[in-house]
Every structure is written in structure tokens, then in C-alpha cells.
Structure 1
Amino acid sequence: MSSKQVAVYGLGNMGFLIAERVAKHFPTKVADLDTTRVQLACDGFAAQPLNETEDLSQLKVVVLCLPSPAASEHVLKQIAPRLPSDAVIVETSTVNPDDIKASQKILAPFGLPLVDASILAGVSQMKAGSATLLLGGDEADIASAQDVLDAIAEKQIYFGPSGAGAAAKVINNAVAHAVMVVVAEAGSLATAAGVSCDKLISLLADPQMGLHRPLTHRYAERIVNGDYAGGMPLDAARKDSTLALELAQSLGVPLFAIQGSHTIYEIASAAGYGRDDYAAIAKVWADWGKPAVPAK
């Protein structure tokens, strides 16, 4: 075991597993408002409890896994003056880039770096060791905490400067949560229309079908390359979207995400993109000054 001392703040379901994984490789101290969770960590994997007045001068890496940005900022205000200048703070909580900046502002007077290492996983994946860390921050700071990051999760993706990893996590979750609504709506439509849900799942899961192609073909190939020639015309997609709304109305199935997404097809068609491949809906965001990919 390394002699490098690590602290983990936050022992919720995810934080507890992080602390357990870290403790296999480093002397680990833990803190949580729930003293029973602290005791479980001490009994379960020989962690040491941290108190509010304890000397933190030997800590090299501090891992935060807290329920809100405000909680992270509160902890940093308490501990920053007591940490050594070569310590690295690793933020694994789900936060926005602005929250990373706010934390950096707290740490700046003490010369302490912050790495965002958002966790792309559920509790079961963390427990199984298959979680992924989405990293953002200075590469030298990441290198300083690399052994601790490796202990948390072997799979890591570096996205760029501070806040990039946090943003990637929020975007991933936004997609997952939006798709969840679409899938629930699709299931309700299928049930009302007498379509086999098992067969619908197989259909949507096919790499050439509805859940995959918008990402792997229309975004990755068409939008990224600005290629909107040929393909399925946007007006045809608009017509199909209208049919889905009509089907839902005839079956009395309320729609939210699918109905809301239809609007952009109307806007794109009115903007003159009707003959382009329907990936051209992305042009509307570009018209608004918010392009889907960086300018080449």
C-alpha cells in the first residue's frame, strides 16, 4: 500500500464505494455528516475518521463526492487553509462548469488545484469496477492525482480544461434522461397500438435503427462534416413526426418529448432546409449562433 494519504468527503452510496476502492491502495480518511456512515467505513475497510479541527497537512489528494455544489464549496472553505500546497482536490460530484470555477476561486488563494473527475456510472458499476471518469483540468494536476484516479476507476476520458469533464457528465445525463422520456412514450404508444414491446426493444436496439443512427450516422458523420446532401429529406422526417403525433392523438397517449421535438422540424422546414437530410435540423442552432460542432 502507498503511504500517500487521501481523504474522501461524502459517504453516500457512491462516495462510500469510492472510499472503499481508494482504501485498498492508500491510507484513507473519511468525513460525512452521517456519523454512522463514517463508522461503517472505519469498520468495513479500515478508514480513519476526519474531524473538523484535524491537521490535514499530510493529505495529498482530497476527493469530494457530495450531494450539491454548495456542499462542495462549504467543505472547501473549511479545509483549504489547512491543506498542504501540493495537495490536489478531485471533484467527483455531478456539477456544472460554473461550479468548478466557483470552487477554484475558493482554492486560488492557497494555490490548490482542482481536477473535475465526474463519474459516468451507477452504484453497481462503481462496485463492479466498470465505472468511467470524465476528466477536466490541467494535465499536470491530473498526473499528480493519477494513482488515486486509477484506484477509483481504470477507465478515464480526458475532455480538456477545467469544467470539461463536468460538462460532459451533465450532457450525457441530459441525453439519457431525455431518451428515457422518449422510450417511455414509445412504450406507451406500442402498448396502445398492440405492438409487441419485446419486438420494439429489439427494433430500437438495432445499430441501424432509431436509438443509434441519430448519433452514429447523422451527428457523427453528417453534422460533424456539414454533409446534408441526399439522405432522408427533412420534410419527410417532418411528415413522419406528424404521423407519430396523429397516432398518439388517436390512441389517447400523452406525449411530451416526442411532441416537443416536432417543433424543430417545423422551424427547420420553414427556414428552407426541407430538401436537406433531416440532420439539417442542426442548422437551426447554427442560425441562432449556437452551432452543434466547432467551425472548421
Structure 2
Amino acid sequence: MGGWPADHHRSHGCRQAAEGICWRRHARHGRHGRHDVSRNAQRFDAGSKAAGVFAENAESFDPASPIQGRLRQGPPFSFPPFQTTFPSRQQETDMEKIGVIGLGRMGSAIALRLHQQGYPVTGWTRSGRTVEGVAAAASIAALVADSDTLILSLLDDTAVASVLDACLACDLGGKQIIETSTVVPTILKDRIAAITSKGATAVDAPISGGPELVAAGTCGVFIGGDDAAASRAQSVIAGFSNRVFHVGPLGTGLVMKTINNSMIQVYFAGLQDMMPLARRAGLSFETAMRIVAGGPAGTPMLIDRLPRVLGEDDSVGFSTAAAYKDNDVFQRVARSFGLEAPSVAHAAKGFEAALKAGIGEQDVATTIPLAYRQG
């Protein structure tokens, strides 16, 4: 969940944008070169062919710099090369052959984005769904045999476990597995010894951001895995993300997503709690939301979704049902470390109310006006 519109710097005077800590970092990228970040980048233009603006006068990534999201503590973050132009046919022969398992909204976006970037991509999904322009495999075994890299984008723990077990029945020599699904990390960790014994590598690499950010190449990805596996994974993930963080060993990618996206859910819960107060006091919903979004309590995520919150846009970036499913995963991740997350548990109540109201497949932004109406 989350993201920023093309014009939020201009229309809302976003303080975070002025300080250079927006998710859609403006950058210059070279083929197989370093990912550079610019202090003097132009405004992001969602309509541009590259789905972004690439700045002159870029500087190398510096974890100590204030422009790097104030990330001055902890291990260094590595930004991968990011391809902004399609490779030639000769270059294409040197690229990893990608197999995407799971072609739901996220998996389809990943497959299509990598295909558009020039990667040879094949997809497989249990339902038989296909993606225009992306080759379809007849089975997981056929997909594995024809791929160097396997990207999993699946619904839940059961699906991921089943697919990993199916992959383990195949020849995995020299292959890598990139697990992007939002599931508990123990599923992959419990199988990593078997995966490596077959000559393969694996990382968990959950995504923060919906399909629209994947399509634009501006989603966030948190990689958990050893250095060698993470480095190889980054070279592929750079095809659909310019915000890739190697955060630690296997499993920590999902923990980082739990922390990051739980904060978003808790923010939504706060808005849901306050909207009944606005209604009972006679404040119009639009007045309350525009003041919150435009002031210090606003966030880029809220600004991005404001048209959906106000009913001006009925497109779905991330559904309430998906957010509710993720909430359960986040709570289980916390409990696996002996912790409770009461604020995350509270956030689940707003999603449950939306499901009962029959709007589970609508964007999560619709939970906020629902809370106002039910107030």
C-alpha cells in the first residue's frame, strides 16, 4: 500500500519531498552500472515514457546523506543497477530468463514490467491466467526447466509452501528463487537448506507498493538473504524497482515489510477512529480529509490515495481484502518473535468492518469514508 502522485510536491508543499525522502526517488540509471541518486532531480512525471525523471548532476548513494531517507544507522543499503531502456537482442541473450509463478495483480505486474524491460519472461499460475506478451508454461516443472530465476508472487502460506515443494522436485542447479509473497518467513527459511543443497539460491523479497508502482518501476523491495544471493537477486529486481534494500539475512525482508506496512495500516486505523468524530461534530468528510492531507498530519501515502478516499477515483491499487490478509501475516510475524502488536490488531477491525459492508475488493482507501458513514 502506498505511493505518491506525480504532482504532490507542487500541490501540497510536501515537506518530506523537499527534504528528498520521497519513495519515488528521482534518479539516473546506467546499464549494469551504479544506481545514483540526485539531490537536484526534477519532479517525477508519471506520464513520462520511463515512468520517472532521470536527473543530471546525480551523486552516488551515500547512507550518511540526509537525502537518503535519514538512514544513518544500521547496515549499508545497496542500490542495484536499473535498466531504463530496452536492451538490444544481443544484450537480451545475456539476461536472466525469468519465470513468474503466480499471475494475480502483483505477479502480472511483475511479469509485464520485466517483459517490457526486455527480459525473457515465462509465467505460470494454477488458474491458467495469462499475461499479454508473456509466454505461458504448461506446468511448474516446465517453467523451472526454462528459467534462470523464479519469482514467486502468491496469495498465502499454503500456496507458497506448495510451490516451493514443487520446485524442489525439479533440477534447481544454478537457479535462484525470489520469494515476493507476503507470507511468514519461516516457510522459505524451513526450506533453504534443501534449496541450497540442490545448487540454488533463495531470498525473501516482499514488495511495498501496489501493482501500479511495480508497473512504474518505483515500488520498494526489501531483500533478506546472504550477500551473494541478494546481489544476484538485485540485478533482476532492478527491472521493476528502483528502491531495493538488502536489509539482512533470510527472513528479514518480510520483517521489514511487516514494520513498514504495519505503520501504514495503523495510520489508516487512526483515520478510521477519527472520522466518526468528524461526522458527529458536523464536519464534512471532504473538509476533514483535505485538511488532514494538506497539513502536518498528512502523509504522501494519504495524498496519493486522496482521490480514492474522496470517491473521485474508483480504481483499486490495493484491496481491503488483501490488506486484511496481510494484517494477519504481520501479527503472526510479531508473535513469532514473542511480541504482540496491539495497534496492528486494532487496525484489523477497520478491515473487518469493510468486509462485512461488502467492499472488501475495493481499494483500502474506501475504509475511511466507510468509517465516517458508520459514525
TM-score range, shorter chain: 0.5 to 0.7
Residue 95 of structure 1 contacts residue 170 of structure 1 at CA under 8 Å; is this kept in 2? no
1:32 aligns with 2:125: yes
Question: Match for 2:226 among 138, 151, 159?
Answer: 138
Structure-to-structure mapping, 1:199-278, within 5 angstroms: 199-205=287-293, 208-209=296-297
Aligned twin of 1:59? 147
- Cα pair distance change 1:29/1:83, threshold 3 Å: farther
Aligned twin of 1:69? 157
Q: Distance in 2 between matches of 1:31 and 1:116?
A: 19
Aligned twin of 1:292? none
Q: Distance in 2 between matches of 1:205 and 1:76?
A: 42
Give ranges in structure 2 of 5+ residues lacking alignment.
Answer: 1-88, 301-341, 348-375
Aligned twin of 1:9? 101
Aligned twin of 2:34? none
Larger Rg: 1
Per-residue CA deviation, residues 164-195 of structure 1 (Å, 9 max, x unaligned), is 11111122232222222220110111111123
Amino acid in the other structure paired with 2:112? E
Residue 133 of structure 1 contacts residue 157 of structure 1 at CA under 8 Å; is this kept in 2? yes
Aligned twin of 2:203? 115
How many pairs does the alignment contain? 211
Q: Indicate the SS of the match to 2:183.
A: coil
1:159 aligns with 2:247: yes
Q: Identity across aligned pairs (percent)?
A: 26
- Cα pair distance change 1:208/1:118, threshold 3 Å: same
Q: Distance in 2 between matches of 1:100 and 1:77?
A: 10
Amino acid in the other structure paired with 1:18? I
Q: Aligned Cα RMSD in Å?
A: 2.7
Question: Match for 1:18 among 95, 107, 110?
Answer: 110
- Cα pair distance change 1:193/1:94, threshold 3 Å: same
Residue 17 of structure 1 contacts residue 127 of structure 1 at CA under 8 Å; is this kept in 2? yes
Q: Distance in 2 between matches of 1:155 and 1:88?
A: 20
Per-residue CA deviation, residues 57-98 of structure 1 (Å, 9 max, x unaligned), is 452210000111221121121122423422110001012232
1:177 aligns with 2:265: yes
TM-score, length of structure 2 as denominator length: 0.51
- Cα pair distance change 1:211/1:54, threshold 3 Å: closer
- Cα pair distance change 1:193/1:207, threshold 3 Å: closer
Residue 98 of structure 2 contacts residue 150 of structure 2 at CA under 8 Å; is this kept in 1? yes
Per-residue CA deviation, residues 212-267 of structure 1 (Å, 9 max, x unaligned), is 9xxxxxxxxxxxxxxxxxxxxxxxxxxxxxxxxxxxxxxxxxxx97xx79xxxxxx
Aligned twin of 1:80? 168
Pick the structure with more helix per residue. Answer: 1
Report the CA distance between 1:99 and its aligned residue.
Answer: 2.6
Q: Indicate the SS of the match to 1:16.
A: helix
Moved more, 44-53 or 81-90: 44-53
Report the CA distance between 1:120 and its aligned residue.
Answer: 0.5
